[in-house]
């Protein structure tokens, strides 16, 4: 009855929220809509060693003024984070 309806609504809402988060992360990692704060937060939250985190952040910082370099750096970050 109504409990099943509520559960289905919660599952749908959770799925929509997960999609929104994924879309936001995709946008953050797109050179055209790059969001340094979100990408840095994703790096900080990742289960990778501190040296790798520092290397990724340095690559992003060095690439921020070049769209081609930024795309390469973002691809490197995505690979390191398993995205």
Distance CA 8, CA 17 (A): 14
Angle, helices 50-63 vs 67-81, to 10°: value is 160
| pLDDT at residue 70 in the model | 93
| pLDDT at residue 10 in the model | 78
pLDDT at residue 57 is higher than 90? yes
Tokens for 8? 């289905």
Mean pLDDT of the 50-69 span: 93
| pLDDT at residue 8 in the model | 85
pTM recorded for the entire structure: 0.69
Q: What is the pLDDT of residues 31-51, one digit of tens each?
A: 888 888 999 999 999 999 999
């Amino acid at each position: 009855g109504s409990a099943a309806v509520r559960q289905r609504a919660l599952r749908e809402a959770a799925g929509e929220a997960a999609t929104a988060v994924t879309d936001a992360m995709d946008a953050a990692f797109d050179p055209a809509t790059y969001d340094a704060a979100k990408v840095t937060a994703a790096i900080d939250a990742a289960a990778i060693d501190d040296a790798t985190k520092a290397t990724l952040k340095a690559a992003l910082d060095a690439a921020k003024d070049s769209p081609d370099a930024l795309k390469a750096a973002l691809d490197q970050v995505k690979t390191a984070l398993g995205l």
